[in-house]
Structure 1
Amino acid sequence: MLNRYPLWKYIMLVAVICVGLLYALPNIYGEDPAIQISGSNSAEINVATQDKVKQLLVKNQIEPKSLVYENKSILIRLSDNDTQLKAKELISQELGDDYTVALNLAPATPSWLTIIGAEPMKLGLDLRGGVHFLMEVDMTTALSKLTEQSIENLKAEFNKNNLNYKALNKSSNQQILMQFDNTEDRNKAITKINGLLDYELTSQSENSIVISVSQQRLQQAKSDAVQQNTTILRNRVNQLGVAEPIVQRQGSDRIVVELPGIQDTALAKRILGATATLEFRQVNEDGSTNLEAILKGEMRVPYGSEIKYMENGRPVLLYKRVVLTGDHITDSSFRVNEYSQPEVSINLDSAGGKTMLDFTQKHLKKAMATLFVEYKDTGKRDENDKPILEKQERVINVATIQGIFSDRFQVTGISSVDEARNLSLLLRAGALIAPIQIIEERTVGPSMGQENITQGLESCVWGLLISVIFMLVVYRLFGVFASLALVANLILIVGAMSLLPGATLSMPGIAGIVLTVGMAVDANVLINERIKEELSNGRGVQHAINEGYAGAWSSIFDANITTLITAIILYAVGTGSIKGFAITLGIGIVTSMFTSIVGTRALANLIYGGRRVNKLSI
């Protein structure tokens, strides 16, 4: 019989809408202004810290909604933004610099919804608030590292070809000075340099030459530094757990980072800006016997060696030549070993594993040091108003190589579990190729984000309201069907956006939702007009309904599938807000086709199907 759905189709329709409604519900509850307290450096969060914070809030007559201590951090939910800011200032003053006190927004979703994985939609920077960083890669340091690497490569190349030289050092302006005992050795060196693609002969004298890295290699190094730093920053942002961040290159030496939901920039700046890496170096054990005399100035530091210090101030004499750098680290994790000491487990790539295997085979029972290297902001600025970074190094571990190992080993001697955790995170995300400087920092407050949300909701409501009025006036009962389908469509879009882990709603995303509302109405207009056309041609009511849906289907499908292809292309090639628009548009197309065709047909079948009807309300 025409226009009759089997029971299972009605059950499916109701089930889909109910699931969509269930996962859309968390968006009604909103978010609470919150404060997140976590330890930094050697400070740890414990029950005593929790009690201290509680007493501070009571003393200042601040009543939190909740105060929860879990995963070595404290989350305090508060009633409004003013109370949040006041509490943050008080707690920061009380706990000091050893703790990170960050503003946050905590979802107010009831526990019965969180149990089934229902969470509110992830909002973009323009809706939720957050921070925007414009970072600049320090090319001077990147090129300095390239010059040092070039010196080591030239040494290896000359030794491999049995070419003699007296000294090989870095000169001014990122150039390399090579000195010789005689003219014959110099001429052989010039011939060799001219045959190497990455180097150029700048000048020469009787017993020396000045070498520069080629312009092509310099440009490649600059481009690689920005590209690799962009990738590493993206990995670090993922470690922070920020939903749909934007990390993209801007110009020749700048990177844009946007972190929705992050209000306090302290943690983000510490993780993003850190250039922490490790260097593994051999200890100069022969020279260490004279270490006391060297420190007193009675003896010189042995050639090719330098003094570094451990955290407790103990000096260690290391060879300058780096055995291996953190660039070869592919993964790292931290744990507390059987001696209750924190340690970081490190995995190397194949090249790093081979280098470490060769080194440990040749230097068994010798001492190797792990040098922790990072760049920190000094708080000073140069003549171009850029932050001046200071290189800080400390030896975190000196151990005797007891056995041969390659791509897997542990680093101990770390002072605290938190330091081991942060070091593991930075190494896992990758060491920055060159230091980065934050040259622009912009915070979008939650109040501005709320204003954007209000404006977006108003646009959706007005679009929905106008569409509903139009459909009711023009198509009467079938207009009611279309209006109910529109509401169901919005519920399904919100539910899908909340359920998908990678979906983030932004202002362009709201525009995509409004657009799909119009497209859903368009589908119902085609159906209803086709039904009216069939009725005017003298068709019976049941045949007109059937032909109306069947005849309009091909036009609706063609129009929506081309738009869906466009949305897929936008998502594939777009970034940031463009992707947000593409996601909501794509989801909206699928849900609108479902509600406009299956939903309204189910309502029409329920009321008119299988009955003798003389006139339609259309």
Structure 2
Amino acid sequence: MLNRYPLWKYLILLIILFFGCLYALPNLYGEDPSIQITGLHGSITNENAFVQIKNILQKDHIESKSITWQNGSVLVRLPNTSLQLEACEAIKKSIGKNYIVALNLAPATPFWLSALCAEPMKLGLDLRGGIHFLMEVNIDSSLSKLQQENFDNLRSDLHEKKIPYLELSKSDLFSLQVRFLDQKTRDKVRRDILSNYHDVIIKNSSYNTLTVAVNDESMRLAREYAIEQNINILRNRITQLGLTEAIIQRQGNSFIIVELPGMQDSARAKEILSSMATLEFRLVDTHSAVDITLPKDSEVKYTRDGRAFVLNKSVILTGDHIINSTTSIDEYNQTQVNISLDRKGGNIMSSFTRDHIGQAMATLFIEYKNSGKKDSRGHMILEKCDEIINVAYIQSQLGSNFRISGIHNQKEAHHLALLLRSGVFIAPIQIVEERIIGPTMVAKNISQGLKACLWGVLVSILFMVLRYKLFGLVATLALLANLVLIIGTMSLLPGVTLTMPGIAGIVLTLVVAVDANVLINERIKEELQNGRSVQRAIHEGYKRAFSSIIDANITTLIKVIVLYTVGTGSIKGFAVTTAVGIATSMLTAIIGTRAIINLIYGGKRINKLSI
């Protein structure tokens, strides 16, 4: 029989609509101004911090909506933004040195919805606000590495050729100075050794001294490499946070802009983005004692519990060669970090451990922290902090894969693995400006976006009802269902962020959905004018309009795919929203309206349609 749907089709449509409403519902609850407190190494591992924060707020008579401790961090929800700022200052003043304290916006979604993984849509900077970081790359550190590389290579070459020299030292402007016994030796080194050094400028100085300086082109390339690699590492770290629409771009010669639209865990983001941790593997000098005069090529380093070791200044391997790191539990139920090296790093480690079996090798954890001081430009000066996290004897030749033990805190091990896995900064980086995109512009954008969407829907509804009567009303119901399904799907998809262009995509898909119903209704009217019966006209109208609707949506989808492929940021957001809208509009405009029409007219003897 024409225009009849089986029961299972109606059940499927009702289930889809139910889940669409369910996952769209969290968007009605809004957000609470909040403060997130996270440990310096990624987590708060004891309840004392929770109690301490609660006491701070009570002491300053700051009323909070709730204080929760979960997933290694404390979240304080406040009634309004003024109390949020007041509480943030109070907490920073009391415990800011030991914890990361950051402003946040926490969804006010009820627990029963959160338990069903129903969360509100992530909004972009222009709709929800978010975190804006201006980060400065310490280019001098990158050039210092280049200077150290030349220093190590030259010292190794002089030692290999058995050429005596009086002094080899670092000088200004990232150059080296090497002083020889006589002019003949100096000229021999310049001719036989330094002639093989590329991208350097060699000058004769007084007292049989050579000055080896990096040329301008090499310094420029080193700067460019440091910026580009740090941008790539920031992208990797942001991926670890689960964000897909973050904006990362270069500004000037040494700055990087990072925008995190819709970011909620701002404390975690700040910690991961600004953490500058790496590893160095060094040989332990067991022949030297801490309490005597140390050789020039050795220095003393300490473990966290204060034990001192004498290490060679020469670095066997740095974290630059680490391509992957994970954590696991060893046979003694202790946390360990599993390291994978690239080919070059694996060859270096294999060669070194083969020649030093039986000797001790230390793993030095290095981190750059804010010293609290500022340079002449007003920027924070970074302080290099290091500690030995592992000392082990080399029992056999190692390769590209090995493990580091001795990290007793599992959270710290996970944090270290994450940083090493996402990449080690080529040059230290620090946040010089942090801004939260304010509510004024956000409120204005949301107001304008909602007005545009509302007026578009109202005009479409008015047109459809006046033009097609009952069929227009059915199309209106489908239009509203389409809007709910778009919001529900956008809320459910991970990593999707709604921006102003995304709202434009929603309006566009609603228009496309209206166009589909216009095609169907006009086809039905044509069939009636051609003398078809009512039931046949409905059937043929939907059938003949189907191919035209499919063709129109496929061409739109192709454009959307192109936009998503070549676009970035908000353009991708527009493409995602439009693609979701195309899928839901096909469901509601064709199947949804047909189901309602079948309920009203299907299987009945009717002589006239309200169309």
Change (3 A) 1:279 1:55: closer
Aligned AA (1:50): F
Corresponding residue for residue 73 of structure 2? 73
| Structure 1 residue runs without a partner (length 5+) | 295-300
Aligned AA (1:605): N
Shift of 1:256: 1.9
Deviations 1:92-139 (A, max 9, x none): 445453233333333333333333322222222222322101223222
CA contact (8 A) 2:43 2:72 kept: no
Shift of 1:421: 4.6
Equivalents in 2 of 1:485, 1:447: separation in Å? 34
Change (3 A) 1:439 1:39: closer
Corresponding residue for residue 529 of structure 1? 522
Q: Which of 552-561 and 83-92 deviates more? A: 83-92
CA contact (8 A) 1:194 1:200 kept: no
Equivalents in 2 of 1:44, 1:527: separation in Å? 60
Shift of 1:141: 1.5
Change (3 A) 1:203 1:579: same
Equivalents in 1 of 2:488, 2:551: separation in Å? 26
Equivalents in 1 of 2:234, 2:427: separation in Å? 12
Superposed, 1:70-219 pairs within 5 Å as: 70-95=70-95, 97-154=97-154, 162=161, 164=163, 166=165, 169-177=169-177, 183=184, 186-187=187-188, 189-190=190-191, 193-194=194-195, 198-204=198-204, 209-213=210-214, 217-219=218-220
Superposed, 1:542-553 pairs within 5 Å as: 542-553=535-546
CA contact (8 A) 1:386 1:437 kept: no
CA contact (8 A) 1:534 1:544 kept: yes
Aligned AA (1:40): L
Corresponding residue for residue 451 of structure 2? 458
Corresponding residue for residue 547 of structure 2? 554
RMSD over aligned CA atoms reads: 3.5
**Secondary structure in 1 matching 2:311:** strand
Change (3 A) 1:314 1:4: closer
Equivalents in 2 of 1:439, 1:59: separation in Å? 32
> Which of 383, 402, 412 pairs up with 1:408?
402
Corresponding residue for residue 567 of structure 1? 560
If the length of structure 1 is used for normalisation, what is the TM-score?
Answer: 0.86
Equivalents in 2 of 1:554, 1:529: separation in Å? 14
**Secondary structure in 2 matching 1:292:** coil
Corresponding residue for residue 578 of structure 1? 571
Equivalents in 1 of 2:176, 2:47: separation in Å? 57
Shift of 1:590: 1.6
**Secondary structure in 1 matching 2:126:** helix
Deviations 1:334-384 (A, max 9, x none): 578888987644443343333223323322332322223232333444444
Change (3 A) 1:62 1:383: closer
Corresponding residue for residue 16 of structure 2? 16
Corresponding residue for residue 479 of structure 2? 486
Change (3 A) 1:91 1:320: closer
**Secondary structure in 1 matching 2:127:** helix
Equivalents in 2 of 1:539, 1:479: separation in Å? 21
Shift of 1:472: 0.8
Shift of 1:447: 6.3
Equivalents in 1 of 2:597, 2:438: separation in Å? 48
Change (3 A) 1:495 1:8: same
Superposed, 1:62-461 pairs within 5 Å as: 64-95=64-95, 97-154=97-154, 162=161, 164=163, 166=165, 169-177=169-177, 183=184, 186-187=187-188, 189-190=190-191, 193-194=194-195, 198-204=198-204, 209-213=210-214, 217-241=218-242, 244-250=245-251, 253-261=254-262, 268-286=269-287, 288-289=288-289, 291-294=290-293, 301-311=294-304, 316-333=309-326, 344-406=337-399, 407-412=401-406, 419-445=412-438, 449-461=442-454
Change (3 A) 1:575 1:154: farther
Equivalents in 2 of 1:23, 1:44: separation in Å? 31
Equivalents in 2 of 1:176, 1:61: separation in Å? 60
Equivalents in 1 of 2:430, 2:101: separation in Å? 23
Equivalents in 2 of 1:219, 1:85: separation in Å? 43
**Secondary structure in 2 matching 1:461:** helix
CA contact (8 A) 1:2 1:542 kept: yes
Shift of 1:489: 0.7
CA contact (8 A) 2:26 2:120 kept: yes
CA contact (8 A) 1:375 1:392 kept: yes
Equivalents in 2 of 1:597, 1:504: separation in Å? 28
**Secondary structure in 2 matching 1:186:** helix
Change (3 A) 1:401 1:376: same
**Secondary structure in 1 matching 2:471:** helix
**Secondary structure in 2 matching 1:374:** strand
Equivalents in 2 of 1:163, 1:201: separation in Å? 23
Change (3 A) 1:535 1:188: same
Q: Which of 163-172 and 512-521 deviates more? A: 163-172
Equivalents in 2 of 1:25, 1:136: separation in Å? 41
Equivalents in 1 of 2:461, 2:147: separation in Å? 69
Shift of 1:402: 4.6
> Which of 553, 573, 587 pairs up with 1:594?
587
Deviations 1:180-215 (A, max 9, x none): 55647735753665555x434443469554444465
CA contact (8 A) 1:103 1:262 kept: no
Equivalents in 2 of 1:584, 1:141: separation in Å? 43
Change (3 A) 1:335 1:611: closer
Q: Which of 187-196 and 494-503 deviates more? A: 187-196
Equivalents in 1 of 2:56, 2:213: separation in Å? 62
CA contact (8 A) 2:40 2:271 kept: no
CA contact (8 A) 1:68 1:74 kept: yes
Change (3 A) 1:381 1:90: closer
Corresponding residue for residue 29 of structure 1? 29
**Secondary structure in 1 matching 2:174:** coil
Shift of 1:443: 1.3
Change (3 A) 1:264 1:521: closer
Shift of 1:480: 0.7
Q: Which of 175-184 and 425-434 deviates more? A: 175-184
Change (3 A) 1:285 1:428: same
Equivalents in 2 of 1:247, 1:3: separation in Å? 54
Deviations 1:314-339 (A, max 9, x none): 65432221011011223345578888
Change (3 A) 1:549 1:102: same
Aligned AA (1:533): E
**Secondary structure in 1 matching 2:495:** coil
Aligned AA (1:490): L
Change (3 A) 1:43 1:112: closer
Equivalents in 2 of 1:436, 1:201: separation in Å? 29
Equivalents in 2 of 1:40, 1:205: separation in Å? 49
**Secondary structure in 1 matching 2:427:** coil
Change (3 A) 1:341 1:387: same
